[in-house]
Structure 1
């Protein structure tokens, strides 16, 4: 997301979080400005994804093997996280790269 911001001339702090990069893209990228006939509902879904990304940062740091952690998320929860992220990235890829 940070590289897409950079490619799109969207300014972002060097230490920006994933959530901050997502929000900057959502607000400033032209491909994400008009969401079609159901702009309001799609916008609400995209706003919810910001919460998903925020939770992802916490899970990565405290519930995964990315750092030394004793309490790792379970298999079903891990699949939920992976699938949520894949959904977000797939959507953004379709909107921004098309």
Structure 2
């Protein structure tokens, strides 16, 4: 497998939506500049503003793993500690 798609679902606690959103937005520019990042797109649910989705494509799994180990991800985790109800991450392969 070379190309990797990531779908990350983040559901913020109702009282922390704006803080979580601000921290997620901070990740966009720095991540898009990383080696191997094909796209890194943040979405917010139209019906449930607590729900955010990152749709990401990476040139390879090792490059995505490097991204996951970067300091800006650790900073995000620290800044949003206790503010997120649900976080799921799916590694996916395009089949069609």
- Class of the TM-score when normalised by the shorter of the 2 chains: 0.3 to 0.5
TM-score, normalised relative to structure 1: 0.33
Query: Greater helix percent: which structure?
Result: 1
The higher-RCO structure (CA 8 Å, 6+ apart) is: 2
The structure with the largest alpha-carbon Rg is: 1
